[in-house]
Amino acid sequence: MKRIVVLISGGGSNLQALIDARLAEIALVVSNRADAFGLERARKAGIATLLLPLKQWLAAGGTRDGYDADVAKHVTAARPDLIVLAGWMHVFGPAFLDVAPAKVINLHPALPGQFPGARGIERAFEAYKRGEVAQTGIMVHEVIPEVDAGPVLGTAAVPIWLTDDLDALSSRMHTAEHKLLVEVVRRILSA
């Protein structure tokens, strides 16, 4: 069975979608936040977890490149066939990407070229209220050092409805994220 490593920073609902899909052995879940509920999801599923907080690394005199290299060391030890950033809130540079032992993909809550970086759903909803967009969406892309700019592996459009508030839009976005992420991971692992 193929092996994946999943990196998270939050609730882990995309991790849960991968756990439920049973596409591969999830060899390791890494988080940079101790309060990430995704760590609990992984533990309940019997998946090895690792907490590597960037803030503590930097407070101890480390550098971002050193942090990226340390994460790469731990990820490499898990021998993954694919590395999935699923809500991972840290931009990797060459110290991670140049030594990553497998393709690194990221899930981003926006369509290509729209709302790179954090708060993609909120920023899309604000743009909708200003009349600038009628829809938003999800993309899965290969990771490069630039934020949310790598080659696109899959997208899903999500309309914004007149009756939406941010919670309703967020709920539909998360449903679309789970489906698209599973589809892209399945396609990559079966290639």
CATH number assigned to the domain comprising residue 14: 3.40.50.170
Single-letter amino acid code for the residue at 43: R
Over residues 1-18, mean pLDDT = 97
| Other beta carbons within 10 Å of 29 | 29
Task: Kindly state whether residue 148 falls inside one of the protein's structural domains.
Answer: yes
Task: Kindly state whether residue 120 falls inside one of the protein's structural domains.
Answer: no
Q: How confident is the model at residue 167 (pLDDT cuts 50, 70, 90)?
A: very high
Single-letter amino acid code for the residue at 96: F
Question: Domain tally for the chain?
Answer: 1
Q: How confident is the model at residue 78 (pLDDT cuts 50, 70, 90)?
A: very high
Q: What is the pLDDT of residues 144-157, one digit of tens each?
A: 999 999 999 999 99
Structure token pair of residue 173: 């976005």
Task: Kindly state whether residue 101 falls inside one of the protein's structural domains.
Answer: yes
Task: Kindly state whether residue 123 falls inside one of the protein's structural domains.
Answer: no
Q: Residues with Cβ < 8 Å from 84, sequence gap 6 or more?
A: 4, 5, 6, 7, 18, 105, 106, 107, 181, 185
Tell me which residue has tokens 């909120």. Answer: 122
Over residues 88-94, mean pLDDT = 94
Q: Which domain holds residue 7?
A: 3-108+139-152+176-190
Residues acting as catalytic residues: 108
Average pLDDT, the chain: 96
Task: Kindly state whether residue 82 falls inside one of the protein's structural domains.
Answer: yes
Task: Kindly state whether residue 115 falls inside one of the protein's structural domains.
Answer: no
Task: Kindly state whether residue 30 falls inside one of the protein's structural domains.
Answer: yes
Q: How confident is the model at residue 12 (pLDDT cuts 50, 70, 90)?
A: very high
What pLDDT does 45 receive? 98
Task: Kindly state whether residue 169 falls inside one of the protein's structural domains.
Answer: no
- How far is Cα 190 from Cα 184, in angstroms, rounded to an integer? 10
Q: How confident is the model at residue 77 (pLDDT cuts 50, 70, 90)?
A: very high
- CA-nearest of 134, 66, 55, 121 to 94 is 66
